[in-house]
Amino acid sequence: MNALELINYGSNELRKAGISSSSLDSEIILSKILKKEREKILINLKQEIDQIKVSIFKKLVKRRSFKEPLAYIFKEKEFWNKLFEVSKDTLVPRPETELMVERLVKIYKGKKIRILDVGTGSGCILIGLLTELKHSNGIGIDISNKTVSIAKKNANKLLPNKNVKFFINKIEAINLGIFDLIVSNPPYIKSSLLVNLDKGIKLYEPKIALDGGNDGLDVIKKVIYKSVEILKISGMLALEIGNEQQFEVSKILTKKNFRIEHIIRDYRENTRCLISRLTR
């Protein structure tokens, strides 16, 4: 089979499975297998693909047809122009999360700060920040040993100055000093709504990183309450939240002496992140 035939085969199979990005995903899968940029493949669609690679391609298309995210199939995801290792123990980094990183880089550019990342996952938020805030340092915590291992690998690969450490720890138990900035993308989906998630999320991404309890605010509350104790005066807390949680989370923040300074919306104009300052 040549590249065009293979791409069309993959696209058709994925379309039948209800994958909206069927053509793009088919091209990406072939690109990864051939270790060539998509553009180079698309200008040479008549190139013949050897049978071993055809077989691998069809197996990966089948996996994708079951809604398995490409990030888990290839164990990597681009974030902040860097390629992060991911596994089924970590959430897949989202492009929308880059909006929070972008805003924080603007706020702290040229400053030397100490950052805490709660529920660090692959480490993408903290590592993304530290690649820009070169004089700063940070700590990432997560309750999963496997997740912390992935974050450490990413830091070793992507942060040449190694100004970061990762620990297995719960936010309520942390005792690692005082911070200028705390960031977190905590689980914030109501337990009752997990069943309604897209299959690619529901079947593959770690439930512990999604389930925010009965009201979706279990971990968010813990992060806010602990931040009061470990943030410097005028320190900032950046929280990713669900779109419908802005009012409730804002109330909790205000009650705990935080002043909301930035509301970040995603590409669909949904509220994605609240950045607030401790005013005590």
Dump pLDDT digits (tens) for 116-144.
999 999 999 999 999 999 999 999 999 99
pLDDT-derived band at 4 (thresholds 50, 70, 90) equals: very high
DSSP track, 175-242: -S--EEEEEE----B-GGGGGGS-HHHHTTS-GGGTB--TTS-HHHHHHHHHHHHHEEEEEEEEEE--
Alpha-carbon dihedral 46, 50, 54, 56, rounded to 10 degrees: -140
Q: At what angle do helices 124-132 and 145-158 cross, to 10 degrees?
A: 20
Q: Is the pLDDT of residue 194 over 80?
A: yes
Domains and CATH numbers, the chain: 3-66 (1.10.8), 75-278 (3.40.50.150)
Q: Exposed, middle or buried: residue 150 (CB in 10 Å: 0-12, 13-18, 19+)?
A: buried
Tell me the per-residue pLDDT of 59-110, one tens digit each, with 9 for 90 and over.
999 999 999 999 999 999 999 999 999 999 999 999 999 999 999 999 999 9
> Could you tell me which of 60, 13, 9, 16 has the C-alpha nearest to residue 34?
60
pLDDT value at residue 111: 95
Alpha-carbon dihedral 247, 249, 250, 252, rounded to 10 degrees: 130
pLDDT value at residue 243: 85
- Give pTM, 2 decimals: 0.93
Cα 41 to Cα 164: distance, rounded to the nearest angstrom = 39
Q: Is the pLDDT of residue 221 over 90?
A: yes
pLDDT-derived band at 231 (thresholds 50, 70, 90) equals: very high
Q: Is the pLDDT of residue 161 over 80?
A: no
pLDDT value at residue 250: 96
pLDDT value at residue 133: 95
Tell me the per-residue pLDDT of 8-51, one tens digit each, with 9 for 90 and over.
999 999 999 999 999 999 999 999 999 999 999 999 899 999 99
**Contact partners, residue 231, CB within 8 Å, separation at least 6:** 178, 179, 180, 182, 237, 278
What mean pLDDT is predicted for residues 168-192?
Answer: 94
What mean pLDDT is predicted for residues 204-230?
Answer: 94
> Could you tell me which of 5, 20, 22, 4 has the C-alpha nearest to residue 61?
22
Q: Which residues lie across from 84 on neighbouring strands?
A: 77
Residue where the block lists tokens 């791409």: 7
Residue 121 neighbours by CB distance under 10 Å:
27
Q: Is the pLDDT of residue 280 over 80?
A: no
pLDDT value at residue 107: 97
Per the prediction, the chain carries an average pLDDT of: 95
Residue 109 neighbours by CB distance under 10 Å:
9
pLDDT-derived band at 162 (thresholds 50, 70, 90) equals: confident
pLDDT value at residue 36: 92
pLDDT value at residue 236: 98
**Under 8 Å between Cβ of 258 and 278:** yes
Helix (H, G, I), strand (E, B) or coil at 129: helix
